[in-house]
């Protein structure tokens, strides 16, 4: 299954894909509105707004670049919140998907650990939860998230997870955000129940980072189920998690 929308077709411009360059750190932001069922079917992606932030040299630039990326991601997250009539009073559940025991799949868990919330505030409205994976808990992520959304009267859900890519250069160097939610396990074709507005009843925004490479897409001699990661994946996970956590803190 393809996770990054700009890897699903050779010519996205005819479908409305546009890019902008904010001007620093060679950052490029891709934008695509999947606004019809026909376009959704052609791309294999649900209807909604998609933004991809590509910064190939981000790990070399360091913290100044990370803060700049967080600022740009936050700007677009705020656009998605406004699109769904959400504001500073909305109750938001941040969900970190993935397997914390596998480094390349631990982005969601790492982001939650870095994201601070005031649990003792009388009018607490931001919550965070990492459901782990079914193989470790015997519980589907969807079931737990659905229960929490009802129990805490949640207005929106923000989902963070690791993605897969077909390109070595995009490993841990780009971020995809959208307002269509996410399917647990999609990167490794171990599909769970989709977390989205149709299934959970509230807007579901997502932030994904490709940390796994589909080896079969690089060399046909590799088996389809072989996943590769960078040798410095630990540092790269730390970096992207800092950026996402900063972006969230500036958004909600």
pLDDT digits over 3-53, tens only? 999 998 778 998 999 999 988 999 999 999 999 999 999 999 999 999 999
Q: What integer is the mean pLDDT of 93-105? A: 94
pLDDT at 191 over 80: no
Query: What total number of domains does the chain contain?
Result: 1
pLDDT (0 to 100) of residue 134 = 82
Q: Which residue is it, tokens 């190939």?
A: 56
pLDDT at 119 over 90: no
pLDDT at 217 over 80: no
Q: Which residue is it, tokens 């690089």?
A: 218
Find, among 130, 128, 137, the residue nearest to 162 by Cα. Answer: 130
Which residue segment(s) compose the domain that 45 sits in?
5-251
Instruction: Take residue 243 and report the two structure tokens written for it.
Output: 């950026």
CB 175 within 8 A of CB 209: yes
Measured between alpha carbons, how far is residue 63 from residues 15, 60, 149, 246 in Å? 35, 9, 34, 11
pLDDT tier, 188 (very low <50, low <70, confident <90, very high otherwise) = low
pLDDT at 210 over 70: yes
pLDDT (0 to 100) of residue 185 = 65
Which CATH number characterizes residue 228's domain?
A: 3.40.50.1450
């Amino acid at each position: 299954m393809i996770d990054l929308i700009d890897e699903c077709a050779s010519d996205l411009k005819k479908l409305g894909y546009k890019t902008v360059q904010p001007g620093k750190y060679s950052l490029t932001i891709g934008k695509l509105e999947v606004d019809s069922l026909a376009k959704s079917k052609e791309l294999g992606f649900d209807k909604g707004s998609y933004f991809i932030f590509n910064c190939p040299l981000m790990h070399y630039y360091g913290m100044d670049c990370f803060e700049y990326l967080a600022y740009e991601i936050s700007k677009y997250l705020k656009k998605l919140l406004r699109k769904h009539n959400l504001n500073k009073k909305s109750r938001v559940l941040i969900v970190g998907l993935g397997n914390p025991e596998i480094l390349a799949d631990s982005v969601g868990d790492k982001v939650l650990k870095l994201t601070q919330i005031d649990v003792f505030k009388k009018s607490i409205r931001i919550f965070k939860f990492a459901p782990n994976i079914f193989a470790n808990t015997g519980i589907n992520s969807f079931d737990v998230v659905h229960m929490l959304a009802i129990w805490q009267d949640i207005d929106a859900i923000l989902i963070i997870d690791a993605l897969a890519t077909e390109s070595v250069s995009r490993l841990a160097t780009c971020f995809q955000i959208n307002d269509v939610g996410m399917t647990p396990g999609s990167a490794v074709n171990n599909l769970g129940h989709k977390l989205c507005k149709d299934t959970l009843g509230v807007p579901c925004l997502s932030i994904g980072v490709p940390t796994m490479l589909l080896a079969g897409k690089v060399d046909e001699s590799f088996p389809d189920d072989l996943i590769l990661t960078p040798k410095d994946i630990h540092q790269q996970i730390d970096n992207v998690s800092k950026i996402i956590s900063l972006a969230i803190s500036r958004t909600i």
